[in-house]
């Protein structure tokens, strides 16, 4: 069965996998060099060397190197390390525009195909964020329009709209019925 190149069925990197690697750093949605290298099928070193050979294509709004504090926060958040004790340098973070530029620097068919998937993921995230913002605006308008009789309904809808980033954990220890 022939499928069109670049469709979801033939995607080298599923959108969900790309979404898992997008981080919010310095108010920007970014992908780290190691994650991109894995998706492109190259080593992190090869990706960074290609970027360094073409630094004029990567201004600060396309790519930046994490500060020591940001890199340390990521290490402690993801508990990443290898047998040599982790990376020897701070990772580079690529914005959407920087990722788009990477396909021209890497110059491989896989890089082009992976870039298409990454761009689709960024577009999908933007659409989800804007639809959620529009829904929140409409909800606020309805709440102002109607009185307190519907406050419980609006609160329930807001609670459903918030994405649980962190599952609620039960506290450890002995609990009495009065403490619940």
What average pLDDT does the segment 104-127 reach? 80
Domains and CATH numbers, the chain: 10-131 (3.10.260)
**Contacts with 121 (C-beta within 8 Å, 6 or more apart), sequence order:** 15, 18, 19, 22
As a dihedral over the C-alpha atoms of residue 3, residue 8, residue 13, residue 14, rounded to 10 degrees, the angle is -150
C-alpha closest to that of 23 among 88, 129, 96, 101: 96
Percentage of the chain beyond pLDDT 70 is: 72
Q: How do residues 12-40 score in pLDDT, each as one tens digit? A: 777 777 888 888 889 888 999 999 998 88
Q: How do residues 33-85 score in pLDDT, each as one tens digit? A: 999 998 888 899 999 999 999 999 999 999 999 999 988 888 777 655 444 44
Q: How do residues 118-171 score in pLDDT, each as one tens digit? A: 888 888 877 777 777 777 777 777 767 666 666 667 777 777 777 655 555 566
What average pLDDT does the segment 92-121 reach? 84
Top pLDDT among 112 and 170 is at 112
Would strands 23-25 and 28-32 be described as parallel, antiparallel, or unpaired?
A: antiparallel
Q: Is 31 helix (H, G, I), strand (E, B) or coil?
A: strand
Task: Tell me whether residue 95 is exposed, middle or buried, using C-beta atoms within 10 angstroms of its C-beta: 0 to 12, 13 to 18, 19 or more.
Answer: buried
pTM for the structure as a whole: 0.59
């Amino acid at each position: 069965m022939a499928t069109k190149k670049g469709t979801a069925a033939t995607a080298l990197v599923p959108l969900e996998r790309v979404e898992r690697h997008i981080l919010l750093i310095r108010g920007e949605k970014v992908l780290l060099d190691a994650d991109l290298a894995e998706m492109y099928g190259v080593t992190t070193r090869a990706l960074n060397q290609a970027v360094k050979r073409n630094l004029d294509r990567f201004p600060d709004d396309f790519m930046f190197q994490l500060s020591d504090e940001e890199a340390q926060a990521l290490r402690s958040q993801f508990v990443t390390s290898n047998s040599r004790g982790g990376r020897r340098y701070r990772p580079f973070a690529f914005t959407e525009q920087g990722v788009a530029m990477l396909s021209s620097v890497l110059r491989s068919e896989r890089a082009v195909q992976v870039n298409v998937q990454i761009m689709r993921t960024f577009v999908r995230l933007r659409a989800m964020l804007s639809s959620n913002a529009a829904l929140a605006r409409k909800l606020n308008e309805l709440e102002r329009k109607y009185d307190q009789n519907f406050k419980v309904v609006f609160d329930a809808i807001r609670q459903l709209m918030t994405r649980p980033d962190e599952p609620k954990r039960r506290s450890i220890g002995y609990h009495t019925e009065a403490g619940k």
